[in-house]
Amino acid sequence: MRETAPHVARLRLGPGDPSDGVKSVRNVKLTVLDGRVLLYLGSMVLPPNPFQPAPGATPPALVGRDAEVIAIEDALDRATRGSQPTPMAFVGLRGLGKTVLLHRIAQDSMRTALHLAVEAEPGVSLVSSFREAMHLLRERDKPLKKRLGDAFDVALRHLPLPSFELPGSMGSVSLQAPESGSKLEDNPLGQALMTFNRAAHEVNKFLVITVDEVQDADVASLRTVVARVNQSAGTKEPILFACAGLPQSRDILRALRTYTTRWDIFDLEFLTRAECVEAIRKPLTAVGITIEDRAVDLLVQESAGYPFFVQKYASAAWNKHRDSTITLRDAEATVPGVRKLLEKTLYGSAFAGLTAREVAVALAVAELGPGAHALGNVAKSLGTTSDALGSIRSNLIKKDVLFVPSSGMLQFRMPLADRYVLEHRDDLETKDVIAFRHGIARPKGGGGITL
Ligand SMILES: Nc1ncnc2c1ncn2[C@@H]1O[C@H](COP(=O)(O)OP(=O)(O)OP(=O)(O)O)[C@@H](O)[C@H]1O
Ligand SMILES: [Mg+2]
């Protein structure tokens, strides 16, 4: 049904009555719809905000990830048929949608699979994370068939128990499962996964293992997991494996290259302009809300292709609108506040703690544009050498401003940090920063300066 609304009468009645994600409209609307006059009296209930600005939250439209979604569907299809799925890895900066893809696997396999969802943590053995995941699964899937319940018990018995901190400074007690040989079959984690996988197939399901934040996984345990997955390939009980992590995860994947060379490894990129437009318009169309072209333009421009920003800005504009259209005024009214909040949380604290020389190097990296840059090019743009920048580079890495995506390269850790730096150049480029850059470019007496 197409809405033709040549005459809309608006009356202001008073404050709306927002409740539990449902928003009321303060206007009374007289609309001509297919020749009929419709009168909306009192509050017109709008659907809840469709945008999802929370970490890992499935976006209302998963745009720009067709290749990844096809790979997921193929893997699930194969696992369902007892054929080996290709393991997958999703690699990218913060907020590009890695966890969302792992959740997609979880959602699409909810009925057909048992899912061990693990999130690696720095300094925590992957074995304890698997143990916790098994406990969670047991709690969630109660009541389990008897056979599966037994398998949980056997699998958990294989895994070392966590350690317990003793009060005061008495140290900790660690309860370990008996150590066995180094063969995969004898390895506690390998055994636990084998037991679990067999049990899953006995109840006509398959096993899905996902490891998020894989850059923080201990390589030894991860090797056991992928070896187990690899071994399942030759059987009728294949395991579907997927992991996700920051660009540094590539180091871990490289360390496991015996297994990972034939994986599907996806580098998640920023969204194109057209994809951002789709990410905003599609969910609105689905719930019958329109958005002015100039409002979309503004939200797309602010988001700059960064999926997390798309959700954040679109969500704020939605919360502001009071009718069946999101207007440019709604977008304009919300953008500055969202931008300020995002800048503070994402970049503010990291940049506030930098010394003048660190800011100078950060500025030089930003001036080279988005993405990764060779340290040599950064040094060249400052009129110095890579060696001379060594300690500043290390500090910026320690302070979580930059990271090394591959040998000899440097990149901002947070997406769009280059835009932040250039937009805040006036605040960041203090006299000391200018003096420092000037000093490098023209060292006194030609003797070079100490950085
Ligand atoms: N393809 C997409 N289209 C639109 N929005 C997306 C897309 N992918 C992710 N998002 C949104 O981006 C935000 C971040 O997603 P997610 O938490 O999966 O990122 P991430 O890469 O796992 O981040 P982190 O490295 O911090 O864990 C969420 O709000 C999510 O809804
Ligand atoms: Mg994530």
Question: Over the stretch 311-342, which tens digit does the pLDDT of each residue have?
Answer: 999 999 999 998 899 999 999 999 999 999 99
Which CATH number is 66-165+184-267 given? 3.40.50.300
For a pocket test of ligand 1, which of 69, 121, 308, 346 has the largest count of ligand atoms closer than 8 A to its C-beta?
Answer: 308
Q: Which ligand 1 atom minimizes the distance to the CA of 279?
A: 4
Does ligand 1 lie within 6 Å of residue 305's CB atom? Answer: no
Q: CA-to-CA distance for 433 and 363, rounded, in angstroms? A: 9
Give the dihedral sign, CA 427/433/435/437: negative
Does ligand 1 lie within 6 Å of residue 313's CB atom? Answer: no
Q: CA-to-CA distance for 1 and 115, rounded, in angstroms? A: 43
Q: CA-to-CA distance for 311 and 53, rounded, in angstroms? A: 5
- Across 171-179, average pLDDT: 46
Choose the CATH number for 273-341 among 1.10.8, 2.40.128, 1.10.1760, 1.10.1660.
Answer: 1.10.8
Q: Which ligand 1 atom minimizes the distance to the CA of 245?
A: 25
Domain boundaries, the chain: 8-41, 66-165+184-267, 273-341, 353-437
Does ligand 1 lie within 6 Å of residue 62's CB atom? Answer: yes
Does ligand 1 lie within 6 Å of residue 98's CB atom? Answer: yes
34-72 per-position pLDDT tens digit: 555 544 545 556 789 999 999 999 999 999 999 999 999
Q: CA-to-CA distance for 369 and 418, rounded, in angstroms? A: 7
Average pLDDT, the chain: 84
- 273 alpha carbon to ligand 1 midpoint, in Å? 17
Which residue bears the tokens 């995002």?
A: 342
How many residues does the structure list for the chain? 451
For a pocket test of ligand 1, which of 70, 90, 212, 311 has the largest count of ligand atoms closer than 8 A to its C-beta?
Answer: 311
Looking at mean pLDDT, say which of 5-19, 34-48, 254-268 comes out highest: 254-268
Q: Which ligand 1 atom minimizes the distance to the CA of 93?
A: 25
pLDDT at 442: 52
Fold for the domain defined by 353-437? Arc Repressor Mutant, subunit A (1.10.10)
Q: Does pLDDT of 85 surpass 60?
A: yes
pLDDT at 152: 75
Does ligand 1 lie within 6 Å of residue 308's CB atom? Answer: yes
pTM over 0.75: yes
Whether the domain at 66-165+184-267 and the domain at 353-437 fall into the same CATH topology: no
Q: CA-to-CA distance for 375 and 365, rounded, in angstroms? A: 9
- Across 66-84, average pLDDT: 96
Tokens standing for 103? 């959740």
117-148 per-position pLDDT tens digit: 999 999 898 998 998 898 888 777 666 666 67
**Single-letter code of the amino acid located at 235:** T
Q: CA-to-CA distance for 68 and 76, rounded, in angstroms? A: 12
Q: Which ligand 1 atom minimizes the distance to the CA of 311?
A: 29
- 115 alpha carbon to ligand 2 midpoint, in Å? 17
